[in-house]
Amino acid sequence: MSRIIRRVKQPGVYFVTTGTWQRRELFLNLEPATIVLDHLLECRERGFYKLHAFVLMPDHLHFLITPGAETSLEKAVQMVKGGSAFKIRKALNYKFPVWHEGYHDRWIRDAIEYRTRKQYIEQNPVRTHLSETAARYAFGSASGMFALDECQFEVAISESRASAAKAVSGSLA
């Protein structure tokens, strides 16, 4: 199997997806799921990236990040996957690989695409019947239990909503 060689270091926001080895539902278990979430947030706190949204599903992880100034996308994903795998193996004496080799990424081009990807992340547990609502799923950012970073596109969305509201209220006056 060949690997994708990433030559472009495009700054910006990325939608990243990575799966578990052999699509094992490893994260149905609380201990490894907690390790991954803690490590994802720890890497954020250490400044490797800004974290905008995420969801940890039984056999994969989706997240929206902006890599830090000194961190490439590849390095950010390596920190999440490699660090969490190391901690899972150490804490749980896990012998198998944790993550599938590689990952998929998509560079986010505008506020509409950002909003679409963020909604996809938030609604993933609802679509797969893991939770009745996104807010009730403990392993996702939609739960509101985790510190997240504001994204450049969220500012644009807020400004466009404010402009639209102002235009509507002006036409009603």
Low-confidence residues in the chain, pLDDT < 70: 1-9, 156-173
Q: Is residue 125 within 8 Å of residue 55, measured between CB atoms?
A: yes
pLDDT of residue 134: 97
pLDDT of residue 152: 87
pLDDT of residue 107: 95
Report DSSP letters for 90-159, one per residue. HHH---S--B-S--EEEE--SHHHHHHHHHHHHHHHHHTTS-SSGGG-TTBGGGS-S-----HHHHHHHH
Nearest by Cα to 103 from 3, 37, 18, 14: 18
Rounded (to 5) percent helix, strand, coil in the chain: 50, 15, 35
pLDDT of residue 21: 97
The residues, any chain, with a CB within 8 Å of residue 29's CB and separated by 6 or more, are none
Strands 49-56 and 14-19: unpaired
pLDDT of residue 170: 60
Which pTM value belongs to this model?
0.84
| Beta-ladder partners of 55 | 62, 140
Which tokens belong to 48? Answer: 């490797």
Mapping DSSP to helix (H, G, I), strand (E, B) and coil, where does residue 52 land?
A: strand
pLDDT of residue 8: 52
Place of tokens 């993550």: 99
Report DSSP letters for 3-17, one per residue. PPP------S-EEEE
- The domains of the chain, with CATH numbers, are 14-172 (3.30.70.1290)
Q: Is residue 53 within 8 Å of residue 65, measured between CB atoms?
A: no
pLDDT of residue 160: 58
